[in-house]
Chains A and B, each alone.
Chain A
Amino acid sequence: MALDSKIPNGPIADKWTNYKDHINLVNPANKRNLDIIVVGTGLAGGSAAATLAELGYNVKAFCFQDSPRRAHSIAAQGGINAAKNYKGDGDSVYRLFYDTVKGGDYRARESNVHRLAEVSSNIIDQCVAQGVPLAREYGGLLDNRSFGGALVSRTFYAQGQTGQQLLLGAYSAMNRQIGRGKIKMHNRHEMLDLVIVDGKARGIIARNLITGEIERHSAHAVVIGSGGYGNVFFLSTNAMGSNATAAWKIHKKGAFFANPCYTQIHPTCIPVSGDHQSKLTLMSESLRNDGRIWVPAKAEDAKAIREGKKSAKDLVEADRDYFLERRYPAFGNLVPRDVASRAAKERCDAGFGVNKTGEAVYLDFAAAVQRYGKEQAHIKGLDESDSALVTKLGTDVVRSKYGNLFQMYYKIVDEDPYTSPMMIYPAVHYTMGGTWVDYNLMTTIPGCFSIGESNFSDHGANRLGASALMQGLADGYFVLPYTIGAYLAPDIKLGAIPTNTPEFDAAEKGVKDQIERFMNNNGTQSVDYFHKKLGKIMWDKVGMARNAKGLTEAIAEISALREQFYKEVRVPGTDKGFNQELEKATRVADFLELGELFAKDALHRNESCGGHFREEYQTEEGEALRDDENFAYVAAWEYKGKPSDAVLHKEPLVFEAIKLVQRNYK
């Protein structure tokens, strides 16, 4: 099967407008004859559900949490990009488009990224109209901050809780439609399979997590907005429940899975403290606006710090190595995430790490405190040479900008980041890969769409900070509502899809069989035991730096672990009620397949690009070395029974508006 990305013709800046001018529309009276299932209620799923319901479709929304407001978009901290150019610093739709394609290391689809940049401004208008309290300046207008990989200030924010505020905005829009009866909300439900009738997605099988009932739900189209698969690493900044099951089930039913190896390791997370660790906590990239990253310049100082004989404060400026500022003078601490993470790993591997495990670098706010303190003293007409006063005033400014993040750090680490620098280390954060979709955001299964982090399309091999919120909301509010209409137009006279058909019978049986198998397994090990083992293989061999030998081993090890899982896993309790171990078992079963495909994809891609770094392919300076001649394509994998048999399909990436060059942040 040849992949058709359905990119509209014409110049890049006109594609989306032309497309909208010429697609099929469904008239308002007919929309109420059409049902749409939306799985996931984060920024993408929540905004899609609300908008589709507003347009008049009957929406059935599903989330595994106890409320749609809990989806993990809520945890996004730093901000959302938009090409408003409110700062007058030279931003434009083209510049946001260019930065995103470059930031993604030229592995994203140009047309999708341009569309994203075009609708970015509308998102901010929309959210303000919804009552989202974005940060403002004293004049009453919206404020911006800078994020990595850009030379302009285009990031809108709400302190360190931007994701929370945007998600609550989408949630409020959903609430309005739930109140009107246009969205039927199914909380604590997990999608466990997709139902295909005559080649089209027509429903799902879901488990009611409270009663344990297996339910059939039908619709004219199914939208997956279930997020990414970072939890394949067990330890990540994702929520404990974040899972790939919905995305993986559609993959097994025919949706190609694209670029699974493109995973973002975020540079600023709180380091691992011990074996009991259940998750990792992000410290927002926005902190790199004001924090300076460093390690000791001398290995003996680093050793002394690790042994507790010295502390950060004992080192004078000359003994500190601000390695990002040294290596990348133009972007400094604001290089993209993949670059910052690798640079931190390089220093730690070379013996300059600063915590007990040797896997941490400093993120220091002392300079920012002084700078802001002096500015405040000047504004207030106070003594700028009074160092205690300056420190106090500066600390207040830093607290107003990042207070909740500093508090979070203090509670976890038990050290005050206002007085001693934070310790941070990279952690798995976001997955750029996901279900392959065409320009319409439709997967290779007709009628099955994938939006937000669960699709692959906009971020290439590396996502820039503050772009995930932008993409989730763009897909849900402004893109899918158009494209899904074009698909549904021929279905207006079809009527409700019945669920008493052989297709639903078969899908439901498959789900029940899997559950029964787990319940009757009587194994000896918990689900977490296997999940942690998988995570360790992934982190050690498929993590920040990969090589052919390690990847080959990982593939064999994951495959063996999967076999062991089915033999030895123990799921206690009953499937006829609330059972969190059973929920985990069905999710980990999918991670155990996805992880293998992930490693297979990483092994086949004989180049380094963005978040995919193969040790064999690097420049003399240790930067990622792309191979545009052989790898400028999307790798879309077709399921053929097991991950090792997956078949590769290639979508060539054609760059018309942007010239491919080596990324340079120096």
Chain B
Amino acid sequence: MKLTLKIWRQKNAQDKGAMVDYKIDGIEPDMSFLEMLDVFNEQQINAGGDPVAFDHDCREGICGMCSLFINGEAHGPDRGVTTCQLHMRMFKDGDTITIEPFRSVAFPVVKDLVVNRSSFDRIQHAGGFISVNTSGNTIDANTIPVNKVDADHAFDAATCIGCGACVASCKNGSAMLFVGAKVSQYALLPQGKIEATERVLNMVKQMDEEGFGNCTNTGACEVECPKGISLENIARMNREYLSASMKG
């Protein structure tokens, strides 16, 4: 396959950045999107150029490190996958592919396609935990039975990989799918209910302070989420928030 790549190049956080056009040849349909970029970078290095910086690690869709806004969609045109699982068979010979970083006020660019998502970590620091000591001197794991339906829903929410596709896809730059998933995981489990009030208030407060926008129910985040995190989690967070605010 022969392709034209339009890639966002930006030296560092201070640089203004711009789209730059490149041609690439010899791409096979069985390659992953990131392997295509590996080939591109190998060519850049051999030609004395500067390889494009992009985040990636596990390359099996679970670590949440890879990002990229490809042809206007977070993680590209395929559904239910991260960029590292996207394969070139989704594209045609002669295609032009636009590659940009995940853009958001709360995700400043580090270099080229790499952004800083530490704002997600800070929301978790504010309340993304159950305050139990890790000494192991707790009760037996089977002491509190958990309804399987609740446990399964908690698991579904907990499969969020924290990649930030929801934020990048949202016209408001909202992080509510991400935060809603964490709030839901704990709200659905008996172990998490004890601190539910404080947790949702603290996490939402931090989310707002980081500069993420609000949710206006367009649902783009759910469509683009590589893990299929459901909008129900946002609704559940809103309910939790409302009831917490009344208590507070």
Residues of chain A whose beta carbon lies under 8 Å from any beta carbon of chain B: 47, 50-51, 54, 65-70, 72, 74-75, 84, 86, 119, 122-142, 158-159, 161, 164-165, 168, 171-173, 175-176, 178-179, 185, 187, 210, 237, 239-241, 273-274, 276-279, 281-282, 404, 407-408, 411-412, 414, 477-478, 524, 526, 528-529, 570, 572-573, 577-578, 580-581
Chain A residues, Cβ within 8 Å of B124: 171-172, 175
Chain A residues, Cβ within 8 Å of B62: 74-75, 161, 164
A174–B209 Cα distance when bound, in Å, is: 21
Chain A residues, Cβ within 8 Å of B134: 47, 50-51, 54, 126, 130, 173, 477
Min CB gap B49→A, angstroms: 7
Residue on B nearest A128 in the bound complex, by CB? B141
Chain B residues, Cβ within 8 Å of A66: 55, 65, 116-118
Cβ-defined contact, B35 with A239, below 8 A: no
A130–B128 Cα distance when bound, in Å, is: 11
Task: List B residues 70-91 near A (Cβ within 8 Å).
Answer: 78, 80-81, 85, 87, 89
A74, A133, A237: the one within 8 Å of B189 (CB): A133
Cβ-defined contact, B114 with A578, below 8 A: yes
A537–B140 Cα distance when bound, in Å, is: 49
Chain B residues, Cβ within 8 Å of A572: 44-45, 48-51
User: When A and B form their complex, which 6 residue pairs have the shortest distance between CB atoms, in order from nearest?
Assistant: A140-B145, A122-B136, A172-B129, A133-B155, A128-B141, A179-B125
A72, A138, A237, A277: the one within 8 Å of B35 (CB): A277
Cβ-defined contact, B136 with A276, below 8 A: no
Cβ-defined contact, B138 with A125, below 8 A: yes
B34, B51, B118, B191: the one within 8 Å of A187 (CB): B118
Asked whether A70 and B130 contact (CB < 8 A) given A133-B158, A142-B141, A578-B110, the answer is: no
Extra contacts, 16 of them, besides A74-B63, A127-B141, A411-B80 (Cβ < 8 A), are: A65-B65, A72-B57, A128-B141, A133-B158, A133-B185, A140-B147, A164-B159, A165-B158, A175-B128, A276-B31, A281-B59, A412-B85, A412-B87, A529-B42, A572-B51, A577-B12
Q: Is B217 in contact with chain A by the CB < 8 A criterion? A: no
Chain A residues, Cβ within 8 Å of B241: none
26 CB contacts below 8 A, A to B, read: A65-B63, A66-B118, A67-B121, A70-B64, A74-B62, A124-B141, A129-B130, A131-B185, A136-B151, A140-B151, A164-B161, A171-B124, A172-B124, A172-B129, A173-B129, A175-B124, A178-B125, A210-B116, A274-B30, A274-B31, A404-B159, A408-B61, A411-B87, A412-B32, A529-B42, A577-B111
Cβ-defined contact, A414 with B89, below 8 A: yes
Asked whether A273 and B30 contact (CB < 8 A) given A70-B57, A239-B63, A573-B50, the answer is: yes
Asked whether A75 and B80 contact (CB < 8 A) given A67-B162, A577-B111, the answer is: no
Cβ-defined contact, A131 with B57, below 8 A: no
Chain B residues, Cβ within 8 Å of A573: 50-51
Min CB gap B180→A, angstroms: 16
Q: Is B216 in contact with chain A by the CB < 8 A criterion? A: no
Q: Is B38 in contact with chain A by the CB < 8 A criterion? A: yes
Q: Which has the most chain A C-beta neighbours within 10 Å: B58, B120, B128? A: B58
Q: Is B126 in contact with chain A by the CB < 8 A criterion? A: yes
A404–B145 Cα distance when bound, in Å, is: 26
Chain A residues, Cβ within 8 Å of B132: 129-130
Cβ-defined contact, A75 with B58, below 8 A: yes
Chain B residues, Cβ within 8 Å of A54: 133-135
Chain A residues, Cβ within 8 Å of B247: none
Cβ-defined contact, B51 with A70, below 8 A: no
Asked whether A240 and B59 contact (CB < 8 A) given A54-B133, A140-B145, the answer is: yes
Q: Is B93 in contact with chain A by the CB < 8 A criterion? A: no
Cβ-defined contact, A176 with B129, below 8 A: yes
Q: Is B28 in contact with chain A by the CB < 8 A criterion? A: yes
Residue on B nearest A140 in the bound complex, by CB? B145
B57, B133, B162: the one within 8 Å of A241 (CB): B57
Q: Is B148 in contact with chain A by the CB < 8 A criterion? A: yes
Asked whether A526 and B58 contact (CB < 8 A) given A128-B191, A414-B89, A572-B50, the answer is: no
Total interface residues on B, CB under 8 Å, equals 80
A141, A239, A276: the one within 8 Å of B57 (CB): A239
Residue on B nearest A84 in the bound complex, by CB? B141
Residue on B nearest A273 in the bound complex, by CB? B30
Chain B residues, Cβ within 8 Å of A69: 64, 121, 162
Chain A residues, Cβ within 8 Å of B110: 210, 578
Asked whether A123 and B136 contact (CB < 8 A) given A175-B129, A179-B126, the answer is: yes
Asked whether A140 and B148 contact (CB < 8 A) given A159-B155, A239-B57, the answer is: yes
A164–B158 Cα distance when bound, in Å, is: 9
Asked whether A276 and B39 contact (CB < 8 A) given A124-B141, A412-B87, the answer is: yes
Chain A residues, Cβ within 8 Å of B138: 125-126, 129
Chain A residues, Cβ within 8 Å of B63: 65, 70, 72, 74-75, 239
Q: Is B139 in contact with chain A by the CB < 8 A criterion? A: yes
Residue on A nearest B140 in the bound complex, by CB? A125
A587–B55 Cα distance when bound, in Å, is: 17
A54–B189 Cα distance when bound, in Å, is: 23
B80, B116, B125, B141: the one within 8 Å of A407 (CB): B80
Chain A residues, Cβ within 8 Å of B50: 572-573
B41, B118, B135: the one within 8 Å of A67 (CB): B118
A558–B144 Cα distance when bound, in Å, is: 55
Chain A residues, Cβ within 8 Å of B28: 274, 276
Min CB gap A142→B, angstroms: 6
A241–B54 Cα distance when bound, in Å, is: 13
Chain B residues, Cβ within 8 Å of A47: 134
A18–B160 Cα distance when bound, in Å, is: 42
Chain A residues, Cβ within 8 Å of B141: 84, 124-125, 127-129, 134, 142
Task: List B residues 3-54 near A (Cβ within 8 Å).
Answer: 11-12, 28, 30-32, 34-35, 38-39, 41-42, 44-46, 48-51, 53
